[in-house]
Structure formats: structure tokens, C-alpha cells
Chain A
Amino acid sequence: MSLEKHRNLLDYAVSFLLRRKGKNFATVLVFTLVVFTLASVVMMMGSLKQEARETLSLAPDITVQKIIAGRQGLVPLEYATAIEEIRGVSRVEPRIWGYYYDAEEDATYTIIGVESLTGLPFEVRGNLSESAVIVGEAIAREKRLRIGDRLILRDHRGEYVKFRVVGIFSSRSALQSADIIVMPRSEARKFFGIPKEYSNDLAVYVANPAELSNIAIKISQKLPDARVLTKQQIRETYDAIFGWRSGVFLAAILGAILAFAILVWDRASGLTAEEKKEIGILKALGWSTGDVLEMRTFEGVVLALNSYLAGVLLAYLHVFYLGAPLLKPVLLGWSTLYPEFELMPAVTFEDLILIFVISVVPFLAAIVVPSWRASTIDPDEAMRGI
């Protein structure tokens, strides 16, 4: 078939759209909103997953916890000794950390005790000495802290403890570090009242990653009351939280509902009597059913592609330049400080295809199906004035 014919049909489709500016503008507006919402959620989830993956890349190979009455309890340090004896384990690091509720800011922080600043999963500036802390950018902003300022916190007995701010985490690592306070391990242990012979959990590193699952099984066998979490298991948990089953699924449902709303709106309004008559006239003048459908499909594609591109572009700006102000309150976690972090751009080709399939395909169906119905009528009806 000649390309010229398809070009003629495309030209006619565009002129058809321009003739019904009002209705088509409203359609583009609604459809852009659908794509924008869907793309914003997908992009935000993609970015969160990316951040989670980056964090996970620095996580220990195996995390060992002690379970008491079904909940996480303190791990005796002798467990570390027992694990070190397993062949293939290169290092075991007892970790001290905990949550701190700041009533003044109505926010919850994560306090981490460290021996040194190297190996932390985020960038830090400053040196850690006794009574010194490094705080996340969000905490610094909320509490108006600068380097050199004092930070007063209440320890496990309710007594005030003074710390000096010696560093603030960089904004690039905001998601991971926004609500974190890092202090020397001994200070953290004292602050939370954790006895010397215990830690919160154990970070286990193995020499050969291929041996990871074997070593995890050996730890479980040696310490039956411990919960052993491999990096893979944590990754799966992250995926469950940010992945298809939660965030993206939510996005898909949301997008599908909105796309469905358009479909219902279009189907309910259907083709106007004028549009049906026009199709009848075209058929009587020698247009085939295929020609009418092609013209209507071009029409749908022009509308859908414009809306899709506008929606995706607006979503990109919304998520990565404006920080997703419309979605953060709905999709982010429990910490009141979190809504201020910066999302790192992370959009995959699969994300774009997902948005396209969920939004554009139902929309095209909504345009083409009523037209197909109308174009199969006998053109004889056009001669009778429909």
C-alpha cells in the first residue's frame, strides 16, 4: 500500500482533531493527568528502589539478630565468636543502633554507633571523637544545627546528654541519612544502655559470595535462636516494599482506575450523532472500514502520544526537580523528616513501557472501538440522512 495514502489519512486525522478543539483539549488534559500521576509514582518508586539498591550494596553479607519472644532482642557477643569460627567468614562486626523519638520535633531519628567513619553507606564530613555526633541534613535543618553546635538528647534513663555536632551528611545521600545521628559506638552503647557483652545485631562478611547461603545455613544450625538474614533476603524485602507488589502495583491500580475513568467517560459519551454521520458520509464516498479505523487510530495516537510525552515530562520535573511534593505525603514512610529528601533520577525503559501500556493502550481502545462500531454501519444510512 502506498505511503501517500497513509499520509493523507494522517493529515485528515489532524484536521479532524483541530475541528473539535474543545473536546480534544479536554481529553488531552485528562489523559496527561493520568500519565502524569502514573509516571510520577513509577519514577518515584524507581528512584526509591535505586536508593535501596545502593544502600544494600554497602550492607553486610549476612545480618544476625537474636529473637526473644518473637521480637528482636540484644545479641550476646559470644555469638560473634561462634560465627567467626565458621570457615569462610572473613569478619563479624557487632552493631549498636536504635531509634530515638524527639518529642520537640515530633520526629524519630536513627542513632548508629560506629568505630570509625569508613564504610558508612553515605558521605560524611567531620571527625568523630568523644561526645561528638554527625547528623543527617534533615535533622540539622529542623533543629537549625550547624557544625560546632550542641545537640542535647535524653538517654535511656531520661537524662540529658550533650553532644557536639562535628559533621552533617551530604544531601546526595539524603534518603539514607536524613534522619540519622552517628556517634562513637561506646557513646551509643551508653546512650541506649546496652550492656558491654551485647550488641543490637551482628554484621557478618564472607570471603566468597558464592558461599553466602551455605554460611547462613551453618549460622542457623549453630545458633538456632538467631535470625539470619542474607543480603538477598533483604533485597527481596526491599523489592516487596518498593517493587511491583506494593508501590508499582499501587501505581498500576491508580493509573488503571484513572484510565478506566477516561474509558468510561469516552464510551459513555461515545461518538456524537455528527461524528457517526460523518463516518457514514465517508463510507458512502468510498472510504472503507479500514480507512475510517486508520484515520481514527491516527487521531488516537496523536492525542495519546502528546499526552504521554507531556505527562512523562511533567512527572519527571515533578519528581526529580520539585521533589514529588504531590506524592511524598502519600507514598513515603513514617518519619516526619523524610519528606525533605532529594530523589535521584532513575527512569528505566521498562518503566516507560509500563506507563505506556497501562495508559495509552486502554485509551486507544476507547477511541477505536466506538469508531469501529460506527464504521461497520451500512453507508446506505448516510444517504438517508442518518
Chain B
Amino acid sequence: MIRCEHVTKVFNKGRANEVVAVRDVSLEIAEGKVAVLRGPSGSGKTTLLSLIACVARPTSGRVFVSGKEVSKLPENFLTSFRREHVGIIFQQFNLIPELSVLDNVTLPLVPTPIPPRESRKRALELLRRLGMEKRSSFKVRELSGGEQQRVAIARAMIANPRIIVADEPTAHLDTKLAEEFLDIMRSLKQEGRTIVIATHDPLVYEHEIVDVIFDMRDGMLVGVERR
């Protein structure tokens, strides 16, 4: 379960360019559910997603992920917690272009004691599942947008996290590829994983897999729609 209690995130605090990106947000996402953070650009959904993904810390308030208060964890613990519990799918995919598909997927396991052979085995299994097995030795820059996203999904899954967060995952995809993405998310949901997606794409938030929608505007939570 994910829970935020009166979470606020301020950038450049105390400076002339201070920005309050998230303001006093409280929400709860039950385990195994698909939640959408919906709102226009600049509404604070990516920042809230970062807080849930343990990539950033709140300026005030508390964030609980899988029963642990992550907002107070020291950096090292937060890093390993993130690696083990959260898989991130970035808006721009954020793959490393010079690396092969396989190497990109195994990247989160490099600073772990898992032997390379085991990492590769896991990565190939995920790529097979996503229909990318034959592309495993390709360089990422040789792939299409949809293929790159599948690599990003495989990378987010490699540590077998219980939570998947995705930031505007369909922003660079056509309708067909966006539907393919949602199909993959459906299968992840069926495995009992919790999924949080920041988006303003109707194709995503109107999709049947979505259980709850949090509407955001100007950093504030302005509405909740449960299905």
C-alpha cells in the first residue's frame, strides 16, 4: 500500500525562484490497484510520482510505501528500498543509447551481488515475455519508440518490484502502441502489482484497468474518482 500524509514539496526553498510543486497532498493507493495521477502540465503529478517512487523526499509530510515510512529513510536505505520495491518507467524512457537492450535491462542489478549470468537470465525472460527477445543484442538507438518503451518496462521489472510507477508513458506512442502498453500493465496488475501512472492521456485514464484517479491542479489534489 502507498500512503501520503500532508505531503508538500518545495523546490529552491527560500530563494527568489521558489516553487511549491506539491502542496499538502494526502492520498492512499491500495495494493494491487492501478492509480492514475491526472492533471495538466505543471500540476505536480510528476513530482508526486517521484515522491511515491522514493526518488525525491518531501519538504514536509510523510510518505509510506509497503508499510515503511520512506520519507525519513537515509539515502543508502532509500536507494536500496527503491531498487527492491519500485520499478520506474520514465517519460523519455531514459535508456542508455550505447548499451545493448540486455545491458540496459540489467542495469538496476549491477550494484547488487546478483551474478551477471543470473541477471541476464532474468532479463531474457522479461524480454521474451514482452516480445523483445530477438532484439536483446541490439543497441537501444536501433529500436523504435514502442520497442524502447518495452525495454524500459523490462528494466523496471528486473528487480521484481511490487510497485510500478510510470510518468506519461504514452506521451511518445501512437494509439496502437499505447494500447499495447496498457495490455502489459493489465498483466502486471493481474500479478498483483501496484501501478501508479502520471498522465493526461484519456486513453490511459479511461482504460478499464484503472481503479482510482487523483486529479491534480497547481500542486494540489482537487479530486478523487474511484471505480
Q: A285-B83, A286-B82, A383-B50 are in contact. Are A15 and B99 (CB under 8 A)?
A: yes
| Least CB distance, A291 to chain B, in whole angstroms | 4
Contact between chains at A288 and B76 (CB < 8 Å): yes
Stretch at the interface among B102-110, B129-137, B208-216: B102-110
In this assembly, does A290 line the interface, its C-beta being within 8 Å of a C-beta of chain B?
yes
In this assembly, does B46 line the interface, its C-beta being within 8 Å of a C-beta of chain A?
yes
In this assembly, does B16 line the interface, its C-beta being within 8 Å of a C-beta of chain A?
no
Q: A382-B94, A383-B55 are in contact. Are A288 and B111 (CB under 8 A)?
A: yes
Contact between chains at A285 and B76 (CB < 8 Å): no
In this assembly, does A245 line the interface, its C-beta being within 8 Å of a C-beta of chain B?
no
B residues near A278, Cβ cutoff 8 Å: 96
Q: A8-B111, A380-B50 are in contact. Are A385 and B91 (CB under 8 A)?
A: yes
C-alpha spacing A2/B110, complex, angstroms: 12
| Least CB distance, A322 to chain B, in whole angstroms | 40
Partner of A8, one of B55, B80, B92, B116: B116
B residues near A4, Cβ cutoff 8 Å: 113-115
A residues near B82, Cβ cutoff 8 Å: 284, 286
In this assembly, does A9 line the interface, its C-beta being within 8 Å of a C-beta of chain B?
yes
Q: List the 3 closest A-B pairs by CB distance, nearest first.
A: A286-B83, A2-B113, A291-B111
Contact between chains at B88 and A5 (CB < 8 Å): no
Q: What is the predominant secondary structure among interface residues of chain A facing chain B?
A: helix
| Least CB distance, B58 to chain A, in whole angstroms | 11
In this assembly, does B142 line the interface, its C-beta being within 8 Å of a C-beta of chain A?
no
Q: A9-B110, A281-B96, A380-B50 are in contact. Are A286 and B80 (CB under 8 A)?
A: yes
Interface string of A345-386 (1 = CB under 8 A from B): 000000000000000000000000000000000111011110
Contact between chains at A286 and B98 (CB < 8 Å): no
- Apart from A9-B110, A284-B90, A382-B90, what 8 extra A-B contacts exist at CB < 8 Å? A5-B112, A8-B109, A277-B94, A284-B88, A285-B88, A286-B159, A383-B50, A383-B55
In this assembly, does B155 line the interface, its C-beta being within 8 Å of a C-beta of chain A?
yes
Contact between chains at B111 and A11 (CB < 8 Å): no
| Least CB distance, B218 to chain A, in whole angstroms | 18
Q: Which residues of B190-223 are within 8 A (CB) of A?
A: none
B residues near A282, Cβ cutoff 8 Å: 107
Partner of B90, one of A2, A283, A290, A383: A383
A residues near B188, Cβ cutoff 8 Å: none
In this assembly, does A19 line the interface, its C-beta being within 8 Å of a C-beta of chain B?
yes
CB closest residue in chain B, given A11: B116
A residues near B112, Cβ cutoff 8 Å: 5, 8
A residues near B155, Cβ cutoff 8 Å: 285
